[in-house]
Amino acid sequence: MNVLVFLIPISLGLGALGIFAFVWTLRSNQYDDPSGDAARILAEDETCL
Amino acid sequence: MIVACPACVAAPVPAEPVPAETAVQLSVPSVRCAACISTIETHLSQVQGVVSARVNLTQKRVQIVTDEPATQMVAALKEVGFDAYPLDARALVGDVDAEGRDLLLRMGVAGFAMMNVMLLSVAVWSGASGATRDLFHLISASIALPMVLYAAQPFFKNAISALRVGRLNMDVPISLAIILAGGMSLFETLMGGAHAYFDAALSLTFFLLIGRYLEHRTRSAAHSAAKELAALEAHTAERKTETGTEVVAIDALNVGDIVHVSSGMRVPADGTLITPNGVTDRSLLTGESEPVSHAAFDLLHAGEINLAGPIEVKVSAIGQDTRLHQIAQMVEVAENARNRYTSLADRAAQIYAPAVHLLALATFVGWYVWSGEVRHALNIAIAVLIITCPCALGLAVPAVSTAAISRLYRLGFLVKSGTALERLAEVKTIVLDKTGTLTSPDFNFDLSAFAPDDLCIAKALAQSSAHPLSRALHQHLEDQTATELTDIQEVPGSGVSAKCDGVFVALGKAEWLAPSESGLCLKIGDHVQTLPFQEPLRTGVFDMVNGLQDAGFELDILSGDTLPKTRRLADTLGLDRFRSGVSPEGKNAIITDLAAKGHAPCMIGDGLNDSVALASAHASIAPGTALDAARNAADVIVIDDTMAKIPQVFAISHKAVSLSRQNFGIAIAYNAVAVPIAILGHATPLAAALAMSLSSITVLINAARVGYGK
């Protein structure tokens, strides 16, 4: 059971990582134009991201 | 892992302030693909004065930072083949969807917290006991409680506001279930109990937030579509001043002002004509397809389009006195009546909320009487509340309508109202307007029976008149050479006459040249011939009519135009039910009558004269070319040029409603299995988690079916 001492913090840390990644995507306006972003990867010479 | 306050960290970054005078927003409906984006952005970046341009493909808009006026940007886009419409920057202020972001954030928080707690719960479900179980429960509690309190706030707020006015809505059982699940689990944890529902509280919140977010997206899409359309039309007039003209808002006009209306523009207010004569198109107001000639001092109504040279109008009525306003008021009355429509989800909630509360209460009382233990009875009653969680019910309708509305958008339809799909699915009779909806406002001449010499004379006469029919005829005869004419005279309101080698020739109204005929006539000497012309049908009208008839709808034509024209169109389309010369009030009366007989009429129309009928009909569709008032009153707007896909709107609505019902069925089926187990006291947190997730996921997958297939 001692392994829980490592595993529980690790799993909590991964959850925290996920939520921060999600908050970051939200803050950097990545949900404003999903179909546009999907199309833009096909275009060449994309300068502004 | 708990952040001080997720809301502070994740509050949307304030949008970079773009100085209002340098940002131009254009709506570009035809932008579709990656190539369009790069064409537009590359082209605009080379236009002088453009600092930057960015296409939003989801909203089909371009935002340009520039000092140049919007009209110049529209012209620049025209060069690369895109039709663009400037959007009113003021109407778009506050367009950043703050509420949507907030819901998305709460959904994300609930989702990640749910996954973590679920992981911790797996240990408990697989048999952890004693101190280990209590430890896992405590860690779960420390994650779940703050997260639930944060994420479920939208439900709490709605529930409180409903309870304040003494009503029950879906959010009351939801809030109760979430709070009781959290509270009871905390109590059980502290007492060292076996069952804690922290994961259930979170997954309830998570799945319900998905439903809430989808619902919000549907609503805000409708909202922004309406805003975008309102922004398409400029609401200004050119008022004459001592020094020249100034552009003012229509609201700022006064009685007695003189306004200048250039060719092709709309008359901004009711008024009398000052210019000696003028020709206007009032098809949007009355449904008359032929242009109307006016002499000085004739009354013109707001909304008529000036077809000939520039005219001046003295404003005689403003604000509430205009014809436009009278119609707008009738529209408002009709819309209020329609807003009372009870949607499928509301009806379900009305039955569901009281039923669940009574069931939980009965369980509590039953177990208390049976076992005499408050804690045990309470635990079981709360388990019932959690198991009956309306996740699937809350997702049933929004998930389907989101999928259906986005499919319709891809097909070229804007759905403006959330309940529109349900109302469209109930339609039995479809009422069609003629001018502008079935026909385009052009003229098709059939001149095969005419001698070439006569056509040359007709062309010569036509080119000396500014009347739209003459101009259309002139354009139609561009291969002919005009004959030399002398003594050309234009008779206002009647036609043109002249001499050709001493012979009297004339082109004009039948009433003027030969009272026995009708339409447009050509007179050479004593010989009178009529020039047959037709309004061309809009593209896809035949497909639409056939498709609707195949689907079993009854079709009716209601036109403000004359009987012969309406009859000819009805014959062409093979329809036997039509009425002509109907006033806006008349259309409304017929629609109301059909509704009273249970025909659930759907109005398809584009004019101001249709707008009251559009608002009072059970459901309504307007083409994108329609007037503001008509587009605002309609539930669905056809963005594409063609009407051929309209039958699909009905087919998809039917499918959406039947899938929503199926979803309710699935939700009820899950409950039917799980509720007896819960009432008997055999529910475990594992069973609750399984029932909840499985039913919600089934419902979501089922909803996605509307987006595919036939």
Question: Worst-scoring range by mean pLDDT, B35-49, B151-165, B572-586, B617-631?
Answer: B617-631
Residue B89's pLDDT is what? 56
Residue A46's pLDDT is what? 52
Asked whether residue B314 carries a pLDDT value surpassing 80, the answer given is yes
Asked whether residue B295 carries a pLDDT value surpassing 90, the answer given is no
Minimum CA–CA partner of B38 in chain A: A43
Q: Which residues pair with B520 in a beta bridge?
A: B509, B531
Q: How many residues does chain B have?
A: 710
Higher pLDDT pick, B516 / B413: B413
Residue B186's pLDDT is what? 92
* pLDDT tier for residue B88 given thresholds of 50, 70 and 90: low
Mutate to test the interface with B, among A3, A7, A23 (most CBs of B within 10 A): A23
**What CA–CA distances, in Å, run from B707 to B221, B409, B516, B655, B710?**
17, 11, 57, 10, 9
The pLDDT tens digits of the residues spanning B315-374 come to: 888 766 777 677 777 777 777 666 667 777 778 877 887 888 888 899 999 999 998 888
Residue B10's pLDDT is what? 46
**Would you call A33 and B58 a contact, using CB atoms and an 8 Å cutoff?**
yes
Residue B148's pLDDT is what? 92
Task: Collapse the DSSP code of B346 into the 3-class scheme (helix H, G, I; strand E, B; otherwise coil) and give the result.
Answer: helix
The verdict on A10 touching B (C-beta cutoff 8 Å) is no
Amino acid identity of residue B432, one-letter, is L
Q: Identify the CA nearest to B528 among candidates B501, B497, B487, B502.
A: B497
Residue B547's pLDDT is what? 92
pLDDT average, residue stretch B652-678: 88
Asked whether residue B297 carries a pLDDT value surpassing 80, the answer given is yes
The pLDDT tens digits of the residues spanning B241-268 come to: 877 778 777 777 888 888 888 777 778 8
Asked whether residue B94 carries a pLDDT value surpassing 80, the answer given is no
Residue B344's pLDDT is what? 79
Give me the total of CB pairs closer than 8 Å, taking one residue from chain A and one from chain B: 75
Asked whether residue A25 carries a pLDDT value surpassing 80, the answer given is yes
pLDDT average, residue stretch B205-217: 86
Asked whether residue B650 carries a pLDDT value surpassing 80, the answer given is yes
The verdict on B89 touching A (C-beta cutoff 8 Å) is no
Asked whether residue B641 carries a pLDDT value surpassing 70, the answer given is yes
**Would you call A23 and B112 a contact, using CB atoms and an 8 Å cutoff?**
no
Question: Worst-scoring range by mean pLDDT, B155-164, B177-186, B473-482, B617-626?
Answer: B473-482
Q: CB under 8 Å, gap of 24 or more: what pairs does B261-266 form?
A: B261/B306, B261/B310, B261/B311, B261/B312, B261/B313, B262/B238, B262/B306, B262/B310, B263/B306, B263/B307, B263/B308, B263/B309, B263/B310, B264/B305, B264/B306, B264/B307, B265/B305, B265/B306, B266/B302, B266/B303, B266/B304, B266/B305, B266/B306
* pLDDT tier for residue B441 given thresholds of 50, 70 and 90: low
Report which listed range, B211-220, B385-394, B423-432, B561-570, is most confident: B423-432
pLDDT average, residue stretch B467-478: 76
Q: How far apart are CA B404 and CA B215, in angstroms?
A: 12
Chain A positions touching B37 (Cβ under 8 A) are 36, 39-40, 43
**Would you call A11 and B120 a contact, using CB atoms and an 8 Å cutoff?**
yes
**What CA–CA distances, in Å, run from B331 to B61, B78, B222, B357, B506?**
30, 36, 19, 41, 45
Task: Collapse the DSSP code of B312 into the 3-class scheme (helix H, G, I; strand E, B; otherwise coil) and give the result.
Answer: strand
Q: Identify the CA nearest to B24 among candidates B55, B59, B68, B58.
A: B68
Catalytic residues of B: 433
Residue B45's pLDDT is what? 86
| CB contact residues (below 8 A), chain A span 23-42, against chain B | 23, 26-29, 31-36, 39-40, 42
Question: Worst-scoring range by mean pLDDT, B112-126, B245-259, B588-602?
Answer: B245-259
Asked whether residue B231 carries a pLDDT value surpassing 80, the answer given is no
**Would you call B58 and A42 a contact, using CB atoms and an 8 Å cutoff?**
no
Q: How far apart are CA B612 and CA B644, in angstroms?
A: 25
Mutate to test the interface with A, among B8, B58, B198 (most CBs of A within 10 A): B58
Minimum CA–CA partner of B7 in chain A: A23
Mutate to test the interface with B, among A11, A19, A22 (most CBs of B within 10 A): A19
* pLDDT tier for residue B548 given thresholds of 50, 70 and 90: very high
Report which listed range, B86-100, B201-215, B489-503, is most confident: B201-215
**Would you call A39 and B1 a contact, using CB atoms and an 8 Å cutoff?**
no
Asked whether residue B6 carries a pLDDT value surpassing 70, the answer given is no
pLDDT average, residue stretch B533-553: 87
Higher pLDDT pick, B140 / B268: B140
Residue B704's pLDDT is what? 85
As a whole number, the mean pLDDT across chain B is 81
**Residue found by looking up tokens 């049933």 in the block:** B396
Asked whether residue A49 carries a pLDDT value surpassing 50, the answer given is no
The verdict on A22 touching B (C-beta cutoff 8 Å) is yes
Q: How far apart are CA B468 and CA B443, in angstroms?
A: 9
The tokens describing B631, both together, are 């587009």
Crossing angle between the packed helical segments B646-679 and B685-704, to the nearest 10 degrees: 170
pLDDT average, residue stretch B435-455: 78
Asked whether residue B19 carries a pLDDT value surpassing 60, the answer given is no
**Would you call B12 and A15 a contact, using CB atoms and an 8 Å cutoff?**
no
Chain B positions touching A4 (Cβ under 8 A) are 132
Residue B110's pLDDT is what? 92
**Would you call B108 and A22 a contact, using CB atoms and an 8 Å cutoff?**
yes
The tokens describing B495, both together, are 């036609």
Asked whether residue B294 carries a pLDDT value surpassing 90, the answer given is no
Nearest to B139 among A8, A13, A22 (CB): A8
**Would you call A39 and B34 a contact, using CB atoms and an 8 Å cutoff?**
yes
**Would you call B33 and A36 a contact, using CB atoms and an 8 Å cutoff?**
no
* pLDDT tier for residue B649 given thresholds of 50, 70 and 90: very high
Asked whether residue B21 carries a pLDDT value surpassing 60, the answer given is no
pLDDT average, residue stretch B209-228: 72
Nearest to A22 among B13, B55, B112 (CB): B112
As a whole number, the mean pLDDT across chain A is 81
Nearest to B58 among A12, A23, A34 (CB): A34
Question: Worst-scoring range by mean pLDDT, B118-127, B199-208, B241-250, B398-407?
Answer: B241-250
Q: CB under 8 Å, gap of 24 or more: what pairs does B39-48 form?
A: B39/B80, B40/B77, B40/B80, B40/B82, B43/B76, B43/B77, B43/B79, B43/B80, B44/B73, B44/B76, B44/B77, B47/B72, B47/B73, B47/B76
